[in-house]
Structure 1
Amino acid sequence: MRKILIHSGYIKLDQFLKLSDCVSTGGMAKALLQEGLVLVNGEKEERRGRKLYPGDRIEVQDEGTFEVIGGEVQK
């Protein structure tokens, strides 16, 4: 399982898919979600704007499993 660090309270699912290198564009993220290839905490998710928080687990078919982790915002 790969851990993906975010520096804010949450990240939207489409942004997460780009950050984790599962997709390179928002359009690709939309297609991946519409095909039902993404699970969030074990449940199929189709909403690009779904907010992910530290501790959430994301499974992407053919890409693997990821966990959102939080970190301090650097000033």
Structure 2
Amino acid sequence: MPSLTFELDRDFVELNQLLKLAGVVDSGGAGKHLVASGAVTVDGTVELRKTCKIRAGQVVRAGGVEIRVRGPGPAGAG
């Protein structure tokens, strides 16, 4: 499974927007549909809340991609 790192520039990002910003889907709406389908996990658990707050240290899997979320700064909390 391909893996990428997404660096937050704020406290959190909504799940559907993360999927868009990471390039897993083309739009926030497509991200909502993907989440609603049950095809997205956050830290290993299926997540159905489209606007779930994703924070540094969490791992999202969707569309055959693993997204590791880091916080801002040199060390990136998480």
What is the TM-score normalised by the length of structure 1? 0.87
User: How many residues are paired up?
Assistant: 71
Distance in 1 separating the partners of 2:36 and 2:28: 12
Given that residues 43 and 59 in structure 2 are in contact (C-alpha distance below 8 angstroms), is that contact kept between their aligned partners in structure 1?
yes
Match of 1:67 in 2: 68
Fraction of identical pairs, as percent: 28
Does residue 21 of structure 1 match 2:36?
A: no
State the match for 2:38 in structure 1. Answer: 36
For residues 41 and 54 of structure 1, the distance between their equivalents in structure 2, rounded to whole angstroms, comes to 12
- Return 5+ residue gaps in structure 1 as ranges: none
Aligned-residue RMSD, C-alpha = 1.1
Report the alpha carbon displacement of residue 17 of structure 1 after superposing the two structures with TM.
0.6
Q: Which runs of 4+ in 1 moved over 2 A?
A: none
Query: What stretches of structure 2 of length at least 5 have no aligned partner?
Result: 74-78
